[in-house]
Amino acid sequence: MLPSHKLIAKGHYTLKNVRLETGFEYENQEVIGTLTDLFCIEIANGKIIAIKANNAAEEAVDMKGRLMLPAFKDMHIHIDKTLFGLPWQALSPKRKTVADMIAYEQEIIPRLLTTSTARAEQLIALLQGYGTTYARTHFNVDPTSGLQSFENLLLALEHQKDSFQAELVAFPQHGLYYTDSAPIMKEVAKSDRVDFIGGLDPLSIDGSIEKPMEFTVQLALDNNKGIDIHLHEAGPSGMKTIQYLIDKAVENPQLQGKTFISHAFALAQLNAQEVEEIAEKLAFAKWVLLLLCHLKDVLCLFQH
């Protein structure tokens, strides 16, 4: 991404010395790389209108041989509340449990909110600098944040609307019932700007699988939203949560293709037959997994 990308994003201009892939490199009939060449790319109002032979002497923005790729989408990020833009902080050994982290966030969130719009814009600029122009971002919904995290994030996105787009997940980071977040979730779910109802680890945080998941599913149905769950729980409780959501997606076609889960550590512990069975169920429910397990767990899962 050009450092001056914001200055040239609009209007009519040409990039020269742009590297594009033109074909494959083979060895023993196997692809071992790609062939590339340099081109001039003519752009008008954010769209490519011509790809021409390279002319290094042309009056154009010089890309100096950089490879052009489609823009990226980051589908799992918390733009609203990172420490990005603040002095580096070491991880404290005192924060070992989910309860420890919730208590810590309750302490620091009031301070973070005072600068969260500016820091969100900094993080968006960082993403853009590496070629990301779209994100699914979660924002905290909890008694400490109220709706302020949501409102501050909307401001940051509004300031970057010409070059960065996002879909939003209302995320009860401190649990629906561990803290009294359910009423705030109901309020924010009415917003047209919210695309997904989030949730996480129902048993370990809220002490039940059915109660928080039933609330989440019904809230999504009532407000025509998708579902995006962050499930770190492994073993039987993790699989029970996955099965519960599969059943709800089968019962409610409007959730099909709009139900996501991240992390999904429980899947990495299944044997080959169990993987086949759950894969068939997920496909039938038109359900989407964002497998953000540890790399070794992902490899183990796909080796099955």
pLDDT tens profile 78-137? 999 888 999 998 888 888 888 898 999 999 999 999 999 999 999 999 999 899 999 999
Q: What pLDDT sits at residue 90?
A: 87
Buried b (16+ CB within 10 A) or exposed e, 216-229: bbebbbebebbbbb
Q: Which residues of the chain have pLDDT under 70?
A: 1-9, 287-304
Q: What pLDDT sits at residue 301?
A: 43
Q: What pLDDT sits at residue 228?
A: 96
Q: What pLDDT sits at residue 126?
A: 95
The Cα–Cα gap between 191 and 171 comes to 14
Give the Å distances, CA to CA, from 181 to 4, 39, 117, 189. Answer: 42, 54, 22, 12
Q: What pLDDT sits at residue 289?
A: 61
Per-residue 3-state assignment (H helix, E strand, C coil) for 166-188: EEEEEECCCCCCCCCCHHHHHHH
Give the Å distances, CA to CA, from 260 to 62, 63, 70, 225. Answer: 41, 38, 24, 12
- Are the C-beta atoms of 264 and 242 separated by less than 8 Å? yes
Strands (E) across 28-94 are located at 30-44, 47-53, 61-62, 72-77
pLDDT tens profile 6-25? 445 678 999 999 999 999 99
- Tell me the pairing of strands 30-44 and 47-53: antiparallel
Q: What pLDDT sits at residue 297?
A: 43
- Are the C-beta atoms of 12 and 50 separated by less than 8 Å? no
Contact residues for 28 (Cβ-Cβ < 8 A; gap 6+): none
Q: What pLDDT sits at residue 22?
A: 96
